[in-house]
Amino acid sequence: MQKIDKDEYQKRLDRITEIFAGMVNHADELSRHRCPYKNRFDQCTAQFGCRNKLKPRAPGELPLCASDDKLDYRNAWETERS
């Protein structure tokens, strides 16, 4: 089996951490106005209920998100499964 040099591996981990840290910072900024469960198709990926959930565009698809991305969405979250 091939072997990996520890220092070389650590360089890769450092690069991964750099990429992920940028993502986490952006996610934090974005979440102030856009629900983090809303995907690029404006669909809801959350398992819980939310007042902003709308019917999916087609059967079998994810529900749509009605949020206008301007308000703090967290008040709309419920505790029950959707």
Partner 1 sequence: MAAISDIGNEFIRQEIEEYIERPEERARTIATFAKARPEMQIIAAALIDGDNETVDRLTREALAAGIEALEVMDYGLIAGMGIVGIKFRQNFIFVPEVLACARAMKAGMAHIEPILSASGIDPLGKVIMGTVKGDLHDIGKNLCIMMLRGAGFEVIDLGVDTAPDRFIEAVEEHRAPLMGMSALLTTTMPNMGKTIEAFIDADLRDEIKIMVGGAPVTQEFADDMGADGYGKDALACVELAKSLLGVRAR
Binding residues for partner 1 (CB under 8 A): 1-10, 12-13, 15-17, 19-28, 30-31, 34, 36-40, 45-48, 74, 77, 79, 81
Output 40 or 55, the one with its CB closest to partner 1.
40
DSSP state of 74: G
Q: How far is the CB of 59 from partner 1 (least distance, A)?
A: 20
DSSP state of 63: P
Output 4 or 58, the one with its CB closest to partner 1.
4
C-alpha 1/C-alpha 20 separation (Å) is 29
Backbone angles phi, psi at 75, to 5 degrees: -70, -20
